[in-house]
Amino acid sequence: MSKSISSMTGYARINSSVGEHDFVIEMKSVNSRNQDIRLRLGSNLDVLEQKLRKKITSFISRGSINISISLNLNDAKSEIVINEQALKTVLNAMQNISKQVKTKKPSPEGILALKGVLEQRDALVDEKSQAAVLAAVTKNFDICLNDLVTSRQLEGAKLQKILLRRIDEIESLSKKAQDHPSRNKKEILHKLKLQISELLDASPSLSEERLNQEAMILATKADICEEIDRLLAHVKAARELLNNGGVIGRKFDFLSQEFNREANTLCAKSNSVGLTAIGLDLKLVIDQLREQVQNIE
């Protein structure tokens, strides 16, 4: 039985409350070459950031993950706090300006009046209430994260079926190319003789040694056995990847590039219109495969 794979696309949302306080946790994830976590926390929740980031990393290895937690403190009181990062930015800018232009030192009141330096935040009434909110948010965050992972796995199951169909099509076309009449030994020999005849007409003074070399080159160019063998080997490797499951996105992406390389070579070596048509169909299916592979974790 094959193991599951995950898509990088998913969504989850939870609305909950603790005491008089309501909160909403929303998670979205989409495709990305690496792991990109964007976490927006409501007031009084900053203390949870590092803990929540570790939780995300332990469950999700790839994708752009956007998470927001909004908290409505219905019985909270407001307080004015200094945004330390904004204050630091302002002071650094003033220091740089003073090195270039002679100016009066700004008053503390002037600095605090600058937009963003002072912020009004809701504060929980007491430590017990704050602890209850943090515990409830953390518990529901775990539930929501599990829902997001499940959502990505469900999308992955759909992807797995699509990819298997594409792999079956690649195998079928590869075998069709392998059995094409133009690859019959008599047909290859006939075309080779025609090419050698044309070569002699163009250069009648060719030595026997040089003629043998040219014949070997022509024969090698017409042989697509290696390309067919590699395509079928890649088909087997792709099925094994899907069967083993887990985080396979990068490996599968590399494999899809190898599929494309062999299909290009097959088209270049084709000695008939029919075989070229098969090669072009093969390239189309591989492009469809590569498009879907970009969604795999």
Q: What is the CATH number of the domain that holds 22?
A: 3.30.230.10
The residue behind tokens 């004015």 is 80
Q: Is residue 3 part of a domain?
A: no
Evaluate if residue 137 carries a pLDDT over 90.
yes
CA distance 261 to 278: 15
Q: Take residue 176 and report the two structure tokens written for it.
A: 């069709």
Please check whether residues 37 and 147 belong to one and the same domain: yes
Same domain? 267 vs 162: yes
Residue 184, in any domain of the structure? yes
Question: Residue 58 — pLDDT band, cuts 50, 70, 90?
Answer: very high
* Range in 33-42, 69-78, 231-240 the model is least confident about: 69-78
Looking at the structure, tell me whether residues 281 and 188 fall in a common domain: yes
Over 80: is that where the pLDDT of 8 sits? yes
Give yes or no: residues 276 and 221 share one domain: yes
For 114-132, the pLDDT digits (tens) are 777 766 555 555 677 888 8
Q: What percent of the chain has pLDDT over 70?
A: 79
In-domain check, residue 4: no
Indicate if 19 and 142 belong to the same structural domain: yes
Whether the model clears a pTM of 0.75, i.e. scores above it, the answer is no
Please check whether residue 212 lies inside any domain of the structure. Answer: yes
Whether 204 and 272 map to the same domain: the answer is yes
Backbone φ and ψ of 169, nearest 5°: -65, -40
Q: Identify which has the larger pLDDT, 285 or 183.
A: 285
| Residue range of the domain that includes 39 | 10-76+126-154
Mean pLDDT of the chain, nearest integer: 84
Least confident of 65-79, 158-172, 249-263: 65-79
Residue 1 lies in a domain: no
Q: In terms of domains, do 60 and 179 share one?
A: no
Into how many domains does the chain fold?
Answer: 3
Residue 21: alpha-carbon gap to chain centroid: 37
In tens, the pLDDT along 244-277 reads 999 999 999 999 999 999 999 999 888 778 889 9
Question: 5 lies in a domain?
Answer: no
Query: Is 2 inside a domain boundary?
Result: no
- Specify the pLDDT at position 193: 61
For 103-136, the three-class secondary structure string (H helix, E strand, C coil) is: CCCCCHHHHHCCCCCEEEEEECCCHHHHHHHHHH
283 and 165 inside one domain: yes
pLDDT at 45 over 80: yes
pLDDT at position 169: 97
Instruction: Decide if 219 is inside a domain.
Output: yes
216 and 264 housed in the same domain: yes
Q: How far is CA 123 from the centre of its chain?
A: 40
* Residues in CB range of 220: below 8 A, 6 or more apart: none
- Helix ranges restricted to H, the chain: 49-59, 84-100, 108-112, 127-178, 185-202, 208-222, 225-244, 249-269, 273-293
286 and 189 both lie in a single domain: yes
With 80 as the cut, is the pLDDT of residue 78 above it? no
Residue 19 has pLDDT above 70, yes or no: yes
288 and 185 in a common domain? yes
Least confident span in 53-62, 99-108, 179-188, 213-222? 213-222
Pair 106, 194 in one domain: no
